[in-house]
Amino acid sequence: VIEEAPSTFLDPATRKAMGEQAASLVKHVNYVSAGTVEFLVDAQRNFYFLEMNTRLQVEHPITEYITGVDLVELMIRIAANQKLSITQEDLKFHGWAFESRVYAEDPEKYLPSIGCLSKYIEPRSLNDKHEVRCDSGIVEGSEISIYYDPLICKLSTYGETRDEAINTMLKALDSYVIKGVTHNIPLLREVISSQRFQSGKISTKFLAEEYPGGFKGHAVKDESLHELISISAFVHAKRDLRNWSWIDGEGTSFRNNLNKSAPNKWDLWISVNKDIEPINVKVKKKGTNEEEFEIIMPNYPRTIISAKWPLETPLINACLRADNQESRALIVQYIDPLPVGFRLQYVGTKFDITVHNQRQHELSQYMIEKPKEDLSNLILSPMPGSVVSLAVQAGDLVAEGTEIAVVEAMKMQNVLRASRVSKVKKVNIKPGDAVAADEVLVELEDVNKNT
């Protein structure tokens, strides 16, 4: 969920009319204190009452940003029988603000995620403007459980203009480190960086229209592929040099060849998620500086990448300068090492990067891929939670679409159904059981269509 203030769609007349209707409503019921009146607005700016929440709304930080008013302070003063120190005429809008609700959920399936936050670093303002705000109640080591809402943080950003607030939000999302649970930052970042969102053409149909087949993460191509391959080449070279720095110091007795020096150039084959054919990348360290490298790859201009990656943080701040192009700044996260590469988070989405040297690349042509396991006869729990109901027992014949079980977590229920005609072979659960994500709940077997 992304909130914005002020709205790009409302004109002053509509905003004034909505405010008058909201004020009339609360006066009619003698309501005192902060409250939120919600309306739906159509394309012709006709608005319709939706509901009223007798509390602060989740997105109150962006109201505070653009008005300069502390709503919580006003609530406390009202509770203490004090009069408001401001009038409606005193409220003026200044600048622009966005709020991104960061959830512990899988953005591709909209299912909650649980676990311990093994690494947690919130983004912060880089100056005294306080343009980044995090409203959260967790720290590194906190547990995200099935018993509460999966909201991790309300991340808000401010700017003098809409574009400035958007750019600050993108940097904040890129700098937000969350490990231990799946989160929705990939979707948040993809939406905010989209051309349609940045143009302000937003409606309740946005997700359905922009991602008709569902959100699948960021698709790397052209410029984004160049950026990802370049930063991957840097990460490989930097890791290699770090390994050499360990064995080139006090640990020289562990070196196999004492005459061998640390490398200053690499000939690599890099692939992304095994979906993109390996790209040959030539990397060269610039002088004695271990933070600047030259990158050469087919179909792209020669690029100089300068990056800072302190040992104690997963955050990599990089600047790419391609020949005859403007420089580009980006923030990437190093997530985990892999057997022949590593996992990076780039523009919010995680990518598995495979890196081979020339000999490894030649040998990889002869490696046989492991066949995927057939899970079509297994009913798996889509998320950690509890079994609300079970609709079948062993021996039952089920048709395509038949309800098998219902699993609930964080106020969300998922109905699990048979994908085809089959017979229930084994039931591993009962109502009330706690289950893990991908746990086998019910096993099916094929039957004759004439059965």
For residues 165 and 97, the answer to whether their CB atoms sit within 8 Å is yes
Q: What is the dihedral of CA 13, 16, 21, 27, to 10 degrees?
A: -160
Q: Which of 359, 330, 339 is nearest to 224 (CA)?
A: 330
CA 442, chain centre distance (Å): 31
Of 15, 45, 55, 133, the catalytic one is 55
Give the pLDDT score at 260: 64
Give the pLDDT score at 108: 86
Crossing angle of helices 162-175/185-193, nearest 10°? Answer: 150
Give the pLDDT score at 256: 53
The predicted-structure confidence for 22-74, as pLDDT tens digits, reads as follows 999 999 999 988 899 999 999 999 999 999 998 888 889 999 999 999 999 99
Give the pLDDT score at 251: 47
For residues 183 and 103, the answer to whether their CB atoms sit within 8 Å is yes
Give the pLDDT score at 250: 47
Give the pLDDT score at 424: 94
Give the pLDDT score at 287: 78
CA distance 272 to 232: 9
Q: Please report, for residues 18, 21, 45, 242, 318, the alpha-carbon distance to residue 48 in angstroms, rounded to integers and kept in the order given.
A: 9, 10, 10, 61, 47
pLDDT under 50: residue ranges of the chain: 250-253, 450-451
Could you confirm whether 101 is annotated as catalytic?
no
Give the pLDDT score at 450: 47
Tokens of 342: 């590593």
CA distance 228 to 217: 14
pTM of the model: 0.86
**164: which DSSP letter?**
H
Crossing angle of helices 71-79/60-67, nearest 10°? Answer: 100
Residue 230 sits at φ, ψ, to 5 deg, of -65, -45
Which domains does the chain carry? 2-210 (3.30.470.20), 223-251+260-364 (3.30.700.30), 378-445 (2.40.50.100)
